[in-house]
Structure 1
Amino acid sequence: MNQRPIFAADDAVVVGASTGGVAALQTFVATLPPQFAAAVLVVMHIGNHDSILPSLLARAARLPVRHARDGDVLEPGRILVAPPDFHLLVARDPDIGSGHTRVLLSRTARENHARPAIDPLFRSAAAAFGPRAIGVLLTGMLDDGTSGLQAIKACGGRAIVQSPDEAQAPDMPESAIRNVEVDRVLPVADIGPALERMLDESLAEARGRPREVPEWVRLENRFAIEESDMETLSRIGTPSTFTCPECHGTLWEMQGQAPTRFRCHTGHAFTERHLSEQQGVAVEESLWSAVRALTEKEKLLRQMAQSALSLGHAQTAADYLQQAAAAQRDGEVLRRLLVAEGHTEQSV
């Protein structure tokens, strides 16, 4: 059986989305023509849950769509989607010529508490494609994708951001607009035609232009591909007073980053906003654990009081009941505080 010939992509469009991303991505892929000249790679924050995103996008797209597989050669006119619980990366393959770029799937540390995450894909595409990479950032909460777009721009590529006014969650587009020299801010329905024009422009402009990858992009890409070390981290960051909410190691503040970002030596990465959110989650979990412990302490003390009373130790039983009442009051104070702050009550 003859295999279909593989035509390597010279250009890549990398797309990131989070909250509200399914509808935005469906609209986006529907605007791409059947003979689209670039490879398209998509990351949406799906975590380790089963994903039917490729089939959802295929209903709207005129291009073939499927989950990316490790080792896939990037081809023009094909849409590859990050599979659950894997970072989707791309890299030049020295074994088959400089014109070929392959997919790398990695289960290295999460970034902004996500795997797959947007920034690792964008940074790897920046290094692999240089001025022939275009980053597209769609709807989402907080500020994922901003660092990745900065890498694409630093390597000579282009950046398109969904108009915040129409985004279901405008945080990610707004962060990119504040911190990146964005080339276009467009409604999703207009992004496909704009990409076609930009690909024609990049073909003319990129000829003969050397692809220079800044050190910070190159070194951060290491964390997404393999476990890096403290020496690598020290070249792009300085130790902070904060600890990683995932592994509890020291966080290093990345140099010259806006918004401020942090990494630990195992590879976890956070922007300030994501770090604050994760610390808030940790505080809430600790407080609910305290409520649960106080509830259990109260129940145990009341049981101990009954046992003491059955043995005729009335004073001991009274002491236990007094301690139980104090634990109950403390638990109720914490519970009221958590509920007043709008936190979802956990089972205790």
Structure 2
Amino acid sequence: MTLPADIHRDLIVIGASAGGLRVLLQLASALPDGFPPVLVVQHIGHHVSLLPELLEKAGPNRALHPVSGQKIVPGTFLVAPPDHHMLVGDGEIRLTTGPKENFARPAIDPLFRSAALAYGPRAIGVILSGRLDDGTAGLHAIKSAGGLAVVQDPDDADEPSMPSSALRFVAADRIATSAELAGILQELARQPIVVREQVPEIIRCEHELTIDRRNAMQKLDQIGTRSDIVCPECGGVLWEIDDARPKRFRCHTGHAFSLAALDETQASHADAAIWAALKALHERHRVLLMMLELHEPGDPAFDVWRNEAQRVKHRIDVLRQLADDD
């Protein structure tokens, strides 16, 4: 589809986590008044966020936590509120308290997917400093819809994992240091758009799963394959999304994970399980020793309790060795 020559990139979506605040403040101070709207997801969970106040003090543009239905207009930084996913559609904001993605709410991928669908080539996606890889799939969605991808130089990032993941799986249009970012975004926003790409159906389907989980299993069967791994959030079956880069999983209740996020939580759960088992075995061993004190050597029951105590002690030693190896 050919677009009029005067259509430009008019939406910037930014995903940031640990180490992103420094870059966001530098960006806010350098962008001119009336710049195209900038939508920001910073991983904050349900904690109070002062980011809008900090961004507004740093530069000439207004900054705020939007409400559902708020119009998206130039000259504003719209920051995802605590414990809400922020989506875009029809020129306005939609907030949801749907299931977490990559253990985050707000998460980056839902915003980026919605921007890909609603704005197509008019959107510019930006990935800043952060751990793991939230935002990589969303940035891929923006590129697939004809938008542009900008990634902070990992060497310039306080936490390089998110930018490194984005560069591994997405063909970035620009790699920027924090000092270069504002200038690059101004340049890209002025570029006219010629062609609108057809948004892949899998992106549309995943967006629908974010906002409406009716018939979720049917939709997941269309875009993925049921795995033998359970969701670490709710215990349901996970679907492996077909041809996803990076590899990703979803459950029918709406939770979504990259392989890296799934690995981190399973490692944490396994470690916690070892320590819980050690605690239970230590308590069992103490009870067995108390039972042993009730009997004299030579009593048949004495041998039973002694043997059981030795068996439990052996298990403690084995698990302790596993814990110490970690």
**Does TM-score exceed 0.5, indicating one fold?**
yes
- Contact 1:90 1:128 (8 Å CA) reproduced: yes
- Post-superposition Cα deviations, 1:190-211, rounded to whole Å, max 9, x if no partner, equal 111111111111xx325xx556
Equivalent residue for 1:283?
Answer: 270
Instruction: Map 1:1-348; keep pairs closer than 5 Å.
Output: 11-36=10-35, 38-92=36-90, 101-201=91-191, 204-205=192-193, 209-210=195-196, 212-228=198-214, 229-306=216-293, 308=294, 316=301, 319-320=304-305, 322-341=307-326
SS for the counterpart of 1:300 is helix
- Contact 1:19 1:141 (8 Å CA) reproduced: yes
Unaligned runs of 5+ in 2: 1-7
Large movers: runs of 4+ above 6 Å: none
RMSD: 2.3
Unaligned runs of 5+ in 1: 1-8, 93-100, 342-348
Between 288-297 and 238-247, report the one with greater CA deviation. 238-247
- Contact 2:26 2:179 (8 Å CA) reproduced: yes
Between 252-261 and 119-128, report the one with greater CA deviation. 252-261
Amino acid at match of 2:141: A
Amino acid at match of 1:81: V
Amino acid at match of 1:12: L
Between 160-169 and 321-330, report the one with greater CA deviation. 321-330
- Contact 1:14 1:134 (8 Å CA) reproduced: yes
User: Greater relative contact order (Cα 8 A, min sep 6): structure 1 or 2?
Assistant: 2
The CA distance in 1 between the partners of 2:185 and 2:72, in whole Å, is 18
Residues 1:34 and 1:244: Cα distance change in structure 2 (over 3 Å): same
Shift of 1:45: 1.3
- Contact 1:108 1:227 (8 Å CA) reproduced: no
- Contact 1:122 1:152 (8 Å CA) reproduced: yes
SS for the counterpart of 2:190 is helix
SS for the counterpart of 2:193 is helix
SS for the counterpart of 1:83 is coil
Shift of 1:10: 7.8
The CA distance in 1 between the partners of 2:250 and 2:315, in whole Å, is 37
Equivalent residue for 1:346?
Answer: none
- Contact 2:28 2:59 (8 Å CA) reproduced: yes
Given the two structures, how large is their TM-score scaled by the length of structure 1? 0.84
Shift of 1:112: 1.2
Residues 1:13 and 1:337: Cα distance change in structure 2 (over 3 Å): same
Shift of 1:35: 2.2
How many residue pairs get aligned? The number is: 318
